[in-house]
Amino acid sequence: MSDHKIAIYPGTFDPITLGHIDIIERSSKLFDKVIVIIAINPSKKPLFNVDERMEMIFNAIKPFPNVSVEKFDGLVVDFAKRVKAKVIIRGLRAITDFEYEFQMALMNRQLADDITTVFLMPHEKFTYLNSTIIKNVANFGGNIEKFVTKFVEKKLIEKLGQEGN
């Protein structure tokens, strides 16, 4: 068994927020390698396609040399097994997140009991943030610079402008 501690951080990241980046930064200090994975969820209709989201994440993780980004279509535990990750990182913003995340963690344990889910809370200044709120604020011309990177802000403005919103 390797001493190399690999963790994965799955999500749709549509788009990545400073709350996500806060979780990534803290994870990068806890694990030897962190792989941010864009989980392709057919039940969600993202604003950004997978390649656009990968580009935004890649731009955001540049300061963290032990963090990479990949896309994956399937069960998160299958991806974890493939890359030999023993940890799935999940962010908890509020108590409302807990029930869903707890159910997912228990299901993942049933599917792969050697993989542990670790819950991290973002800095309190990001606890109310989610990608949907960011998109809604941007769609109505609100200032989002405190919630996303400059690169993501630019991409959101471009995307929403293209779609005529």
141 vs 162, higher pLDDT? 141
pLDDT digits (tens, 9 = 90+) for 44-87: 789 999 999 999 999 999 999 999 999 999 999 999 999 999 99
Q: Is the pLDDT of residue 30 over 90?
A: yes
Provide the pLDDT for residue 81: 96
Burial class (CB in 10 A: 0-12, 13-18, 19+), 94: exposed
pLDDT at 1 > cutoff 80: no
Helix (H, G, I), strand (E, B) or coil at 54: helix
Q: Catalytic residue at 93?
A: yes
Catalytic residue among 2, 43, 44, 45: 44
Q: What is the chain's Cα-based Rg?
A: 16
- Selecting among 131, 135, 155, 159, the annotated active-site residue is 131
Pick the CATH number of 6-128 from 1.20.140.10, 2.60.40.420, 3.40.1030.10, 3.40.50.620: 3.40.50.620
The catalytic position among 93, 135, 155, 159 is: 93
Listed by start position, the domains of the chain span: 6-128
pLDDT at 165 over 60: no
Give residue 3's pLDDT: 61
Whether 131 is catalytic is yes
pLDDT(163) > 70: no
- Catalytic residue status for 45: no
Model confidence pLDDT, tens digit, residues 85-140: 999 999 887 777 788 888 889 999 999 999 999 999 888 888 888 898 999 999 99
pLDDT, residue 123, reads 87
User: 20 catalytic, yes or no?
Assistant: yes
Is the pLDDT confidence value at 2 over 90? no
- pLDDT bucket at 162, cuts 50 / 70 / 90: low
Per-residue confidence (pLDDT) for residue 20, from 0 to 100: 95
